[in-house]
Structure formats: structure tokens, C-alpha cells
Structure 1
Amino acid sequence: MPSVHFLRPIVWGAAGILIGLLASCGIAPRQVGPATLNSRYNDEQPALSGDGRWLAFVSNRNGSNQILLYNLQEERYDNPSGLNRSDVIAESPSLSRTARYIVYIASLQGRPDIVLYDRITKRSELVTQGYRSWVRNPQISPDGRYIVFETSRRGQWDIEVLDRGPLIELDIPDGTPVENPQKNLPT
């Protein structure tokens, strides 16, 4: 039986050969680190902000499904306080134009609800509180006013539109004037 000291150089030599073969084929080993986008964990359900700067996705890097927010321009993660809770399973994120608003499904005790998170105020709001039907796949409009989602309220999957109202702060680029949509209607 070969000794452990004899096998160690063989294992390290084989690993070196494998890495050399991968590099010669143009396949580099994936680097995993705290600031890299991809990891050895499940990263899924990506959503891109309207301005193309932010990427939100679900990852189990911290032991449960949580929403991660990645700044594509600066190649770094943003960890907004209050976005994730350890006792909640998060899924299906959607971002407004500049990622000010994030909507997602949060399952607490097995019941899915839609949560709206505001990155400016760092507050979460349960949008479907008291809602008796199952919900899934929420999407938020670029300006943050409307949320659409699927609901089983009528015993089948239907689409509902939630209007957050005209008095919310819209997610618009800085300096962009807000036009009155009624102004351009034909008379």
C-alpha cells in the first residue's frame, strides 16, 4: 500500500496538469470571492434595472434564499439594510428604473406575499397584507407606480395590476421633468 507522502505529489501533480489543460483550452477556473458576481452557490432569477446599472438576483450564499443587489458599473455588491430578513425566503425580484424600488416574493411560514422595498427610505412594505389568495411573479413598472403579479383569487392564475397611486415618489432619472399624462390625450 502506498504511503500518504507518496500520494500527495501525485495528487498535486494531477491537479496542476488539469489546470494547465483547462487553461490551454481557453477555460479558466472560475474565481470565487466576495466581490465576484457568480459563486459556487445557487444564483438565480436575475432582474435588471431599467437603466442597466443594477442586477438583483436570488442567492443562497448566506444559508437561505435572499435578494442580492449588484452594481454592474462599479462591480460591487450593495447590501441595503432591511432588504433581507433571516426568517424569510425571498424570490422573484423585480427592479424599477434606477433600482430605487425592489418588489419580490417573501415567504414567511410558507405563505407567499409581495414586498416592496424602497432603497432611499430603507423601508419594506407588505403590499399583499390581508390578501387571501396565492401570489407569484411580481413585476414593478420602471417608474415604480405599478406592480403587476399573478394571483389565484378566482381559482386559476390571473394577472392583477396594483396602482400605488399618484402621490408616490416616482423612480425617475435626476433632472427629468414629469409630464402630466392627461395633457397629451386627444380631446
Structure 2
Amino acid sequence: MYRRIPFQLWLTILILSLGGCSFGNTPSAPVTLNSKYHDEQPALSGDGRWLAFISNRHGTSEVLFYDLTQKRFVSLPNLNQKGAIHESPSLSRTGRYIVYLSSPQGKPDIILYDRATKRSDILTQGYRHWVRNPQISPDGRYVVFESARRGQWDIEVMDRGVAIELDIPDGEVITP
């Protein structure tokens, strides 16, 4: 014998079974790696644990960071700038450093994010030329990118210097 369930009770059961409800244009937080949104430009850390990619899951272009071992997204404060277009992420060996392009006002800049300090720094601040396709070395010291400084696309290498903390696996000894 079936009973008629009141509409309000049915709606409550439906919402609870779906895990909540989102009203408005804001999609829910990402819970799986693949989604119905545009996920593109993947970058894998040298140790194979971390994945960074560009997504529009939250209604705007952003860099997302995913732990392949734990199968979960990792929130990184100060990684994405609001209202900016992000692209071309690259990861150092253990994913400590992330470089990517950010275009808050049309002209792209290369941003370096340090997961240890949770800081973003503009590497091309004051650089008057167009840049694209940044890549960071496994140890995090060098960033290579394409530059239109001479009116054509050339490759430039930026040395972040000897004073930076290198991205090396725990226990590895570096000899000069």
C-alpha cells in the first residue's frame, strides 16, 4: 500500500538526498576532478601528486589545485585574483610553487604563488611587453616564458636568485 507524501516533505527529502541546493548562478564547490564545466590546461607536479588546471566552475576563470593522492581539491588562499582571466599554470617538483598568467586588466602578467607562504607575487611587474606560456623549473628557481619584447615571440629565462627556498623533496641534499 502506498501513501501520498505531502509536497513539503517530498521536497525536503529530495533536497537532503541531493546534498543541498544551490540557488542563483554560483555553482557548488567542486567535488570531483571531471565536471560539466570547462577544465583545461592541466599541469602536473614533478612528483606526480599535484594537478593544477584552469576551470570556470565558479563562474570565472581560475586556477584549481587538486591532490591526486587524496583525490580532493585543496583551497589556496590568495591564488586567484577576482575579475582576472587566468591561464597556463605550471608547477614545481612538489607543487610548492605555481606560476601562471593572470590578466586582470587585459595585459597578462606572470604570477608566482608560494604554497608555503600563501603569497602571490607578480614576477613581471613593470614589464611592458606581452608574455605567455610561463613554465617553472622543478626546483622553483627559474621561470621561462615567451616574450614579445623584440616585436616577435622570443624565449626568456628569469632567474629568481640564489636566495630563494628551493622546492626539493624532504631529506634531499643539494650540493653547489
The aligned counterpart of 2:22 is none
Structure 1 counterpart SS, 2:40: strand
Q: Is there any run of 5+ residues in structure 1 with no aligned partner, and where?
A: 1-31, 181-187
Whole-Å Cα distance in 2 between the matches of residues 58 and 98 of structure 1?
19
Whole-Å Cα distance in 2 between the matches of residues 86 and 164 of structure 1?
26
The aligned counterpart of 2:107 is 111
Q: List aligned pairs for 1:85-96, cutoff 5 A.
A: 85-96=81-92
Whole-Å Cα distance in 2 between the matches of residues 33 and 117 of structure 1?
22
Is the Cα–Cα contact under 8 Å of residues 38 and 57 in structure 2 kept in the other structure? yes
Q: List aligned pairs for 1:61-100, cutoff 5 A.
A: 61-100=57-96
TM-score, L = length of structure 2: 0.83
1:139 aligns with 2:135: yes
**What root-mean-square deviation, in Å, do the aligned CA atoms of Structure 1 and Structure 2 show?**
1.2
Question: Given residue 105 of structure 1, which amino acid in structure 2 is its aligned partner?
Answer: L
Question: Given residue 161 of structure 1, which amino acid in structure 2 is its aligned partner?
Answer: V
Whole-Å Cα distance in 2 between the matches of residues 159 and 98 of structure 1?
25
The alpha-carbon deviation at position 34 of structure 1 amounts to: 3.1
The alpha-carbon deviation at position 33 of structure 1 amounts to: 7.9
The aligned counterpart of 2:172 is 176
1:38 aligns with 2:34: yes
1:155 aligns with 2:161: no
Whole-Å Cα distance in 1 between the matches of residues 64 and 58 of structure 2?
10
Question: Larger Rg: 1 or 2?
Answer: 1
Whole-Å Cα distance in 1 between the matches of residues 78 and 141 of structure 2?
21
The structure richer in helix per residue is 1
Is the Cα–Cα contact under 8 Å of residues 68 and 77 in structure 1 kept in the other structure? yes
1:47 aligns with 2:43: yes
Q: Is there any run of 5+ residues in structure 2 with no aligned partner, and where?
A: 1-27
Question: Given residue 100 of structure 1, which amino acid in structure 2 is its aligned partner?
Answer: R
The aligned counterpart of 1:126 is 122
Residues 47 and 157 of structure 1: is their aligned pair in 2 closer, same or farther, counting only changes over 3 Å? same
